């Protein structure tokens, strides 16, 4: 069961630039993973945990809301590493 989450310096920097409610939602996801594990947390529909394609193949994202996503990957040692928190603009859909 994957419950360990690492956050890169870039992701921490990105997170500090997000609105407070986005930071709180990210923390809620972390708590959910720590308590229930990644597999169970993925089953919850509010996170929209999905694999990415193209240049980001091998990475996954969770939706913090319609505008913000957190990008992560699962490392060989079974930990989750968040690489960045990004803002999606309407023309990026």
The structural domains of the chain, with segments of one domain joined by +, span 5-92
Q: Which CATH architecture has domain 5-92?
A: 2-Layer Sandwich (3.30)
For residues 2 and 41, the answer to whether their CB atoms sit within 8 Å is no
- Residue in the block written with tokens 């921490």: 12
Average pLDDT, the chain: 90
The model carries a pTM of 0.85
pLDDT at 74: 92
pLDDT digits (tens, 9 = 90+) for 60-76: 999 999 899 999 999 99
C-alpha to C-alpha distances, 88 to 8, 41, 53, nearest whole angstrom = 20, 23, 16
Q: Could you say which residues of the chain have pLDDT below 50?
A: 93
pLDDT of the residue at 91: 53
């Amino acid at each position: 069961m994957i419950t360990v989450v690492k956050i890169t310096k870039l992701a921490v920097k990105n997170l500090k630039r997000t609105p407070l409610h986005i930071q709180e939602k990210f923390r809620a996801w972390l708590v959910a993973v720590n308590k229930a594990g990644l597999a169970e947390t993925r089953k919850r529909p509010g996170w929209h945990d999905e694999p990415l394609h193209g240049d980001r193949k091998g990475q996954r994202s969770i939706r913090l809301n319609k505008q913000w996503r957190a990008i992560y990957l699962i490392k060989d040692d079974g930990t989750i590493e968040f690489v960045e928190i990004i803002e999606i603009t309407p023309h990026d859909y």
